[in-house]
Amino acid sequence: MDEVVELGRAQGERGEVLLRRRGPEQGGVEELVVNGAFAMDSTETHSERELGRLAGGAPHVLVGGLGLGYTVAAVLDEADRLDADVRVDVVELEPALVVWASEARTRTLARAASDPRVRLHVGDVAGVLDVDGRQTQGSPGPHGPWDAVLLDVDNGPDFLIHAANHALYAEAGLRASYARLAPGGLLAVWCQAPSPPLLAALRNLHPSAAETLLEVRREGRTFTYAIETVRRPPA
Residue ranges in contact with ligand SAM by CB under 6 A: 34, 39-40, 48, 64-71, 91-94, 97, 124-126, 152-153, 161-162, 165
Q: Distance between CA 190 and CA 150 in Å, rounded?
A: 8
Q: Where are the beta strands (DSSP E) in 66-209?
A: 87-92, 118-122, 146-151, 181-191
Closest CA relative to residue 99, chosen from 83, 85, 110, 87: 110
DSSP 84-110: ---EEEEEES-HHHHHHHHTTSSHHHH
Q: How far is the CB of 183 from ligand SAM (least distance, A)?
A: 25
Nearer to ligand SAM, 165 or 209 (CB): 165
Nearer to ligand SAM, 15 or 206 (CB): 15
| Contact by Cβ (8 Å): 103, 79 | no
Nearer to ligand SAM, 125 or 230 (CB): 125
Nearer to ligand SAM, 165 or 177 (CB): 165
Q: How far is the CB of 93 from ligand SAM (least distance, A)?
A: 4
Q: Which residue is nearest to ligand SAM (CB)?
A: 67
Nearer to ligand SAM, 18 or 125 (CB): 125
Q: How far is the CB of 106 from ligand SAM (least distance, A)?
A: 10
Closest CA relative to residue 101, chosen from 88, 112, 92: 112
| Contact by Cβ (8 Å): 177, 169 | no
| Contact by Cβ (8 Å): 209, 232 | no
Q: How far is the CB of 35 from ligand SAM (least distance, A)?
A: 8
Nearer to ligand SAM, 31 or 94 (CB): 94
Q: How far is the CB of 126 from ligand SAM (least distance, A)?
A: 5
Nearer to ligand SAM, 119 or 233 (CB): 119
Q: Distance between CA 4 and CA 43 in Å, rounded?
A: 15
Q: How far is the CB of 28 from ligand SAM (least distance, A)?
A: 16
Q: How far is the CB of 205 from ligand SAM (least distance, A)?
A: 20
Beta bridge partners of 189: 151, 228
Exposure class string for 136-167: b at 16+ Cβ within 10 A, else e: eeeeeebebebbbbbbbbbbbbeebbbeebeb
